[in-house]
Structure 1
Amino acid sequence: MVNALSGEPEQKGPSSSASRPAAEDTEDTESGEPSPETANSPAVALPLVIRVTGPATFVVVRVADTGGKVLTQGTLNQGETRNYRETPLQVVAQNGGALQVVIHGKVQPQKPDGRRAEWFVKARRG
């Protein structure tokens, strides 16, 4: 319930733990309990939503600024969904065809299966 009240789940924990997947804090699909973003916010309000629709794949999501804070770095399994509120973001997937990527509410074109893929999420203005 703390996350539901704070509205800032990405801010949890020390910032020096970049090797841990920070997106676990935004949504834990394995616990069966949706994060506040999943329960209360439409996908169009989120800058980035990643859904693993194919086989498990290695994904890196980082803030695309001079600091380059890593939000996710690891293997995401089929059926997992990750939501991100920060922008701008850089996304790299080992198998881009395994993901459905939604940027500012728009589903992105499907990438080729089995090939590395990249996406960039710009900061939305106004």
Structure 2
Amino acid sequence: MTGFGKRLRDLRVGKKLTQKQLAKIIKISESAVGMYERGEREPSFEITGKIAEYFEVSVDWLSYGKTVEFKDSIEELNHDIDLHNISDILNKYNLKVDGKQLTEEEAKGFLSFVRANRSLN
């Protein structure tokens, strides 16, 4: 089982889905899901994107197991933080908690928290 296949299987099993159920959701064949999980076939970028979107993970993580370092994200955010322009920040960084997009008020609170904690270091 490849890294992609293992991650896909873990996500699917974590949501208690059968291969058939996932195939229907993603609009691919059940056999394609099985082949992806066994590493016998690689999905197209479009299918990878659909899978990542459904499970609310990044394509990089799903494909390669890579994640963005939190520290790097915070430093990048710190350069762009302007609480008066929060909608642009929400659009650029797609800030989510538990898979749900933050509201402007939640994002302001999060960014204020980040600023406050950075000043403590």
TM over 0.5, shorter chain: no
Q: Please state which band the TM-score falls in when normalised by the shorter chain.
A: under 0.3
- The answer to which structure has the higher strand fraction is 1
**Structure showing greater Rg:** 2
Give the alignment's TM-score, normalised by structure 2. Answer: 0.26
Which structure has the highest helix share of the two? 2
